[in-house]
Structure 1
């Protein structure tokens, strides 16, 4: 009798456990299996490369989703300084990254340089402007010249350095169309709203509407280096580090190279 009662008690316990599990109660998932969304504040020039990298990264890290916040590096840095949520910052210039580092806003020992770029002069393919070098730029023959805003957009800062080196900055003041990021410069030239513009080689590569007429000499401007780092206030520092490692790894390098980065 006792054996039979014990047998029925065991069956009852198993039945109760089964009912509990089928009642919508799931086992507790460990922290490593939790879904994580990383916010990546990235220079606009990285947009296309990052979209492809997202697919590769997420296929290898099934619990991590990447969300991009593209824009001018200066404005992105300012957003982070003001407390905007971000896990990783990918800048098109050292200056903007330096500001965050000086303010102790970067996670220690996570900063890396992952790419370089070149500065090119472009014109619209269907409405080509007769020009073959930066030195040939003549303010008298140009109506609209698109560049990035020098105070907040790295490509604009580099463009200003080139024009100052060539003694063209002051003569061109009335012709300049200042843009909020490098992609806006590209759009102005693509749509014919500007005769010429200055963008990165990587941006010119992804457009079939513009033609590169010249490449700036490296000595005319500061070296174009792309640094990346994890933000100190990131809620997902380990996942953010994994993303940076992937970006700087072989797959990341191949994707960046494909889109015109060095």
Structure 2
């Protein structure tokens, strides 16, 4: 009888050890499972984000980050309509707040991450008649590019600045609108317009456009980039970890390298 009990005990221990081993292996597999995170981000953040993501993926081999760049207004509408996204990085507070108000992003899962500036850019070939904002009214300044104000935050800030400078009514008929700030920059780089208004961060990464003038901060609303975790994310743990990484000193140094300011 005693031998039978010993055999049963040994068998039970073996089963427990095997079960524990399987559980441990399963936990390990779950921890290392491959995950693709989608971040819907303002086009102006592209260069900084891609460097930050490359750095992150080097130490998180199971994470792949894919980007959906565009104007903040268009991205906000996509998320509102159910487009798949794990994080939203907006160039405008009002577009972001719309998602918070609608319950698509929880306030506790959001933060004001960085700031930016608005600048006037011209082609680097030196042919543009524009040297300052006032030059936009010159007769030989024929075309000026900016983002569509209703959907492109940089365009809204540009219109706001031009209005406060008492220039909007004088130049509005010269405006060529772009679907996002990168399209505006490309119009300038290719010489299709005499000047454009973009974020300082876009101007700094361009090799074919240069800054002619800068808009004073009091000429437009504060330029703030909010970041948040989309409520319907299927990868909350991984999204939260990347959300927190974007706020670290390591990530902020990259943002600052590209011209963003810390909030």
TM-score exceeds 0.5: yes
Normalised-by-shorter TM-score class: 0.7 to 0.9
State the match for 1:161 in structure 2.
Answer: 160
State the match for 1:42 in structure 2.
Answer: 41
Report matched runs for 1:24-103 at 5 Å: 28=26, 30-103=29-102
Q: Is the 8 A contact 1:139 1:172 kept in 2?
A: no
Q: How many residues align?
A: 237
Q: Hey, what's the Cα distance between the residues in 2 that align with 1:156 and 1:138?
A: 18
| TM-score, reference length from structure 2 | 0.87
Q: Is the 8 A contact 2:130 2:194 kept in 1?
A: no
Q: Hey, what's the Cα distance between the residues in 1 that align with 2:189 and 2:133?
A: 19
* Residue ranges of structure 2 left out of the alignment (5+ in a row): 1-24
State the match for 2:147 in structure 1.
Answer: 148
More helix by share: 2
Q: Is the 8 A contact 1:139 1:175 kept in 2?
A: no
Q: Hey, what's the Cα distance between the residues in 2 that align with 1:224 and 1:33?
A: 38
State the match for 1:180 in structure 2.
Answer: 179
**C-alpha distance after superposition, 1:88-130 (max 9, x if no partner):** 0000010110000000000341111111111000000114323
Moved more, 60-69 or 144-153: 60-69
Q: Hey, what's the Cα distance between the residues in 1 that align with 2:129 and 2:247?
A: 39
Q: Is the 8 A contact 1:139 1:171 kept in 2?
A: no
State the match for 2:212 in structure 1.
Answer: 213
State the match for 1:202 in structure 2.
Answer: 201
State the match for 2:231 in structure 1.
Answer: 232
**C-alpha distance after superposition, 1:176-234 (max 9, x if no partner):** 01000000010000000010000111000101111101010001000111100000000
What is the SS of the residue equivalent to 1:111?
A: strand
CA positional deviation for 1:139: 5.0
What is the SS of the residue equivalent to 1:37?
A: strand
What is the SS of the residue equivalent to 2:239?
A: helix
* Residue ranges of structure 1 left out of the alignment (5+ in a row): 1-26
State the match for 2:117 in structure 1.
Answer: 118
Q: Say what the alpha-carbon RMSD is for the aligned residues.
A: 1.5
Q: Hey, what's the Cα distance between the residues in 1 that align with 2:66 and 2:138?
A: 42
